[in-house]
Structure 1
Amino acid sequence: MTIVDENAELASLRELDPSYPAPTVLSVLGAPRNRELLDYVARDPFGAHVFPGDLADHPPERFLADLADQLADTAPIHLWSYIPTCSYRCRFCQYPTVLIAGEPAVAADRAARWVDLNIAEARLWLDRVPTLAAAPVGEFNVFGGTPSLLPASAIRRLLGFYREHFGFTPDTAIRFEGDPSSLTAEKLETLAELGVTKLSCGVQSFDDRVLAQSGRPHTGARCVEFVRDAQRLGFAWISVDLMYGLLDQTVDSVRRDLAVVVDTGLTAVVCTKLHLRPYAETRTGVAGERPAAWQIPAYRDRLAAEGHRWPTLGEQYQMREVLTDGLVDAGYVEHPTMYFARAGLGPETWKSIMVDQDRQEAEVAIGLGGSSSCRTSEAITEVAWGRYAAAVESGRLPLASATSFSPAAREARAIRMALSTLQPLRDRLHRARFPGSCLLDEPWLGRFRALAERGLVGVDEAAGTVTLTRDGRTLVEAIINTAL
């Protein structure tokens, strides 16, 4: 990195909205000894979703065998179905999606085809992983895309298939995702009738100007209407996604978004920074074939020429602090990083299954671009819809790539995942998972002490815990991807 780049990063970090306090991490990121943390956040990766292995080119067949071994004796797992259909493409979206358009009946038929493909792929998983059918499902999620575009008959067929063929129990939670435009009162009534108890809605912002610049056709008022409809119908868990760092977004706009969340009494909220670095570069997320519109340099240059503005790095951290502090003050608990739920309700079940130190169970994703994992390897499904469909229709499981974890990487991955929960890292649990290893011995103790000297963690050797500080919680993705 050149001096010019370093100066540009620091300048962006120090350019703040004067109406709001400086973020507490400003001094940490500005310190020379934390240069790698600043470099990391300035490079803009998506750092705590997929935890890739260190051994590339792991044959997908081996991943299936690894998964089958773990599922032979397993606690509840996370199972999800990915329906990639969308009626529009957000300008920030990197995910693998398929646009469906046309008359309502035609669009519904096109959407329903993805249920056919998803069920066909699910049958392949059941055939290739014999222990999968009996594995207890802790939470089943229908993610997207925009699965709420599916007609009621297709939703009924999808949920019915998974209930019949997978290890659903009386404790299995079922979640359905959608956007405010298609999660209508009628669609919500269908979901409630089918036993869905959790909803996730991609709101992103309640600011109409920010929504329009992001390419979203709905309004903030429609988002609130969705929340009220869902509350009226009695859904137990209503979560929305909010983004910060969007084009023309201000710190005050984010503060107003927070006020709407608190006023509506939402169960949960997921806060995500805008990421424009391709997920595929780090394999910490799954991206589709086409870049997001905002990733195209010429388009970004045109927006700047037209007078639009991207928030600086410093403003992004002000936005984050407005959200995190405001949600905690309103009675929400953050667990894992940037996932907030009302106190007393516990964390998001599916995230807890994946990353809590005493769990870290398997995840099986069925659908275009799904990411699946077990403790020894992980795999990503084909992201090109043509190749995906051809594989499924020919009876071939469409896994595109897999990586595995060396013994050292398995241990490091477990620590990184556990720290991403923002809960204390406990040596007792670590020893149980990795006999002969100790967080308070090398190589880990030296790393944690170095982080403690920088004010990012606290090490309590008597209690056998490592706990993130306030700044450590804010920078946890940078810490786990640079220092561990």
Structure 2
Amino acid sequence: MASPTTDLLLEKYNVPGPRYTSYPTVPHWNRDQLAHDAWRDQVQVAYSRHRKEGISLYIHLPYCESLCTYCGCHTRITVNHLVEGPYIEAVLAEWAQYRALFGEAPLVRELHLGGGTPTFFSPENLSLLVSKILETVELHPEVEMSLEGHPANTTQEHLEALATLGFTRLSLGIQDFDPKVQKVINRKQTLVEVAKVVTSARHLGYTSINLDLLYGLPKQTEESLRHTLYKAYMLQPDRVAFYGYAHVPWLKPAQKSFEEWLPSAEERQRLYSIGKAYFTELGYTEIGMDHFALPTDELAKAATHDTLHRNFMGYTTQPSQILIGLGASAISDVWEGFAQNAKSVEAYLQRVRMGQLPVFRGHEHTPKELTLRRHILNLMCHYTTDWESPLRGGELDILTSAFENLELLEADGLIRWHETGITVTEQGRPFVRNVCMAIDPHMQKVAKQEEMFSKTV
């Protein structure tokens, strides 16, 4: 029987669904309130189990000078740079609490500065923040240190300060080069500005440059996207993150301002197909759901060797079981559980000043959830999973309720069965989130997800 056409698949599967940077996803966590002491205990237990593997650090720097209307991140808009000092003091105080829990200098495999706009902070303050943390840790020989930057305010001084401390990867949020699109989303930067930052980073020894691009933006057309892709390629990035724009106006009201100009689901799929074809024809390796990398890049090598990992920071080469998130709204992951810090800067600062870890909600995994988490991670990273690996005993009982859903996906040509598991087909890759949803018991009642998640395609 022939598989349905792409248009029919879009109509059927373009439903609200999570991006699966975690499992369970945040709306389905089981602790709406998480006590400081409970999280401390959970961290200590997890660290004793996984300390030899090393940890990842994510530092959330939420400030931006202006609001990008498409953005779904936790941000604080201000032009007052006096906020930098107190915030850095709080992050260092939070880290000191974790460092005391570990009882030793932890082995760090990954350190990432995200936001917000990390380069909102002065080079001196970023250098102070990172250097103070590095004084208290041991760096893995293959540590990856990276930052996100806005091309409009990432200076030579920013890049120099962080390169001196060991940063080798830079991710620039481009989104789109078309002036009409940039005006609507309030994210303006020229090709010349971006090229200047990229050139400076290369000269300073940054070995991996990533560009973030979005498809499905307001006023974006097939022609304008092709121009954006060409300009992006002119910069010779090592990686490209080609995300679908996440429309969640119930969470981010600024997105309501351009709803009339958003492309349809069919148009979004064509935009995705154009981008995917463009980068694969140029020799980039498609990685997971929305990334492309040159074969020489470490992310592509990790995908080739089946060591790719995915966490709240997205796809990564570092398979750490422990991710510590520092800063307002940051999320930590100790594999057996999650915790999120207070979202507002004020609440975050207050809790840290009280000598508490500033967590406010979290999740503790059940054995069943850990099994499902591993399978979803396999699907998101490798497009395949094996029921018998790596966890045995009882897996078939756990997954029995999902088999009917998987049979429907097979009938539509999105997956194929192998002896002990499933593999996502080439046709099914744009729908990998739907495949994960099929084995996720939290997602069986799709109608209730309308105001939780963006559309899957």
Band the TM-score falls in, shorter-chain normalisation: 0.7 to 0.9
Question: Is the contact between residue 198 and residue 235 of structure 1 (CA under 8 Å) also seen in structure 2?
Answer: yes
Question: Is the contact between residue 406 and residue 435 of structure 2 (CA under 8 Å) also seen in structure 1?
Answer: no
Q: Paired residue for 2:84? A: 111
CA–CA distance in 1 between the matches of 2:320 and 2:380? 12
CA–CA distance in 1 between the matches of 2:207 and 2:317? 26
Note the alpha carbon deviations across 1:52-99, whole angstroms, 9 max, x for none. 355344634434323322221322332111111211110112322222
Q: Paired residue for 2:359? A: 399
Question: Is the contact between residue 54 and residue 406 of structure 1 (CA under 8 Å) also seen in structure 2?
Answer: no
Q: Do residues 88 (structure 1) and 66 (structure 2) align?
A: yes
Per the alignment, in what secondary structure is the counterpart of residue 220 of structure 2? coil
Q: Do residues 235 (structure 1) and 206 (structure 2) align?
A: yes
The aligned runs of 1:463-482 (5 Å cut-off) are 464-482=420-438
Instruction: Check 1:55–1:202 CA distance in 2 against 1; reply closer, same or farther (3 A cut).
Output: same
CA–CA distance in 2 between the matches of 1:88 and 1:380? 25
2:235 to 255, 260, 264: 264
Gaps of 5+ in 1: 1-22, 281-290
Note the alpha carbon deviations across 1:192-247, whole angstroms, 9 max, x for none. 22221111111111222211211124223312322222223331111111111112
TM-score by length of 2: 0.84
Q: Do residues 29 (structure 1) and 10 (structure 2) align?
A: yes
The aligned runs of 1:60-459 (5 Å cut-off) are 60=35, 61-74=37-50, 75-101=53-79, 107=81, 109-127=82-100, 129-130=101-102, 133-277=104-248, 291-295=252-256, 299-300=257-258, 304=260, 309-347=261-299, 352=309, 354=311, 359=319, 361-427=321-387, 430=389, 432-437=390-395, 442=400, 447-459=405-417
Q: Do residues 55 (structure 1) and 30 (structure 2) align?
A: yes
Gaps of 5+ in 2: 441-457
Question: Is the contact between residue 99 and residue 105 of structure 2 (CA under 8 Å) also seen in structure 1?
Answer: no
Per the alignment, in what secondary structure is the counterpart of residue 48 of structure 1? coil
Q: Paired residue for 2:450? A: none
Question: Is the contact between residue 184 and residue 258 of structure 2 (CA under 8 Å) also seen in structure 1?
Answer: no
Cα offset for 1:370?
A: 0.5
Cα offset for 1:399?
A: 0.5
CA–CA distance in 2 between the matches of 1:344 and 1:279? 41
CA–CA distance in 2 between the matches of 1:173 and 1:358? 8
CA–CA distance in 2 between the matches of 1:357 and 1:223? 25
AA aligned opposite 1:49: T
CA–CA distance in 2 between the matches of 1:347 and 1:24? 32
CA–CA distance in 1 between the matches of 2:253 and 2:112? 25
Question: Is the contact between residue 427 and residue 440 of structure 1 (CA under 8 Å) also seen in structure 2?
Answer: no
Question: Is the contact between residue 25 and residue 474 of structure 1 (CA under 8 Å) also seen in structure 2?
Answer: no
Question: Is the contact between residue 123 and residue 157 of structure 2 (CA under 8 Å) also seen in structure 1?
Answer: no
CA–CA distance in 1 between the matches of 2:209 and 2:341? 28
Question: Is the contact between residue 77 and residue 135 of structure 1 (CA under 8 Å) also seen in structure 2?
Answer: yes
AA aligned opposite 2:267: E
CA–CA distance in 2 between the matches of 1:436 and 1:188? 51
AA aligned opposite 1:265: Q
Question: Is the contact between residue 171 and residue 210 of structure 2 (CA under 8 Å) also seen in structure 1?
Answer: yes
Cα offset for 1:460?
A: 1.7
CA–CA distance in 1 between the matches of 2:397 and 2:271? 34
Note the alpha carbon deviations across 1:367-393, whole angstroms, 9 max, x for none. 111111122221111111111111112
CA RMSD across the alignment: 2.9
Q: Which moved more, 1:229-238 or 1:195-204?
A: 229-238
AA aligned opposite 2:265: L
AA aligned opposite 1:125: Y
Question: Is the contact between residue 458 and residue 466 of structure 1 (CA under 8 Å) also seen in structure 2?
Answer: yes
CA–CA distance in 1 between the matches of 2:310 and 2:72? 25
Cα offset for 1:340?
A: 1.8
CA–CA distance in 1 between the matches of 2:155 and 2:399? 55
Cα offset for 1:320?
A: 0.9
Question: Is the contact between residue 109 and residue 143 of structure 2 (CA under 8 Å) also seen in structure 1?
Answer: yes
Question: Is the contact between residue 58 and residue 404 of structure 1 (CA under 8 Å) also seen in structure 2?
Answer: no
Question: Is the contact between residue 114 and residue 147 of structure 2 (CA under 8 Å) also seen in structure 1?
Answer: yes
CA–CA distance in 1 between the matches of 2:30 and 2:149? 35
CA–CA distance in 1 between the matches of 2:267 and 2:399? 39
Cα offset for 1:160?
A: 1.0
Instruction: Check 1:140–1:356 CA distance in 2 against 1; reply closer, same or farther (3 A cut).
Output: closer
TM-score by length of 1: 0.79
Question: Is the contact between residue 308 and residue 318 of structure 2 (CA under 8 Å) also seen in structure 1?
Answer: no
Question: Is the contact between residue 29 and residue 362 of structure 2 (CA under 8 Å) also seen in structure 1?
Answer: no
Cα offset for 1:433?
A: 3.2
Instruction: Check 1:135–1:223 CA distance in 2 against 1; reply closer, same or farther (3 A cut).
Output: same
Question: Is the contact between residue 96 and residue 383 of structure 1 (CA under 8 Å) also seen in structure 2?
Answer: yes
AA aligned opposite 2:46: Q
Per the alignment, in what secondary structure is the counterpart of residue 49 of structure 2? coil
Cα offset for 1:439?
A: 9.8
Identity of aligned residues (%): 21
Instruction: Check 1:209–1:317 CA distance in 2 against 1; reply closer, same or farther (3 A cut).
Output: same
CA–CA distance in 2 between the matches of 1:221 and 1:24? 41
Cα offset for 1:46?
A: 4.5
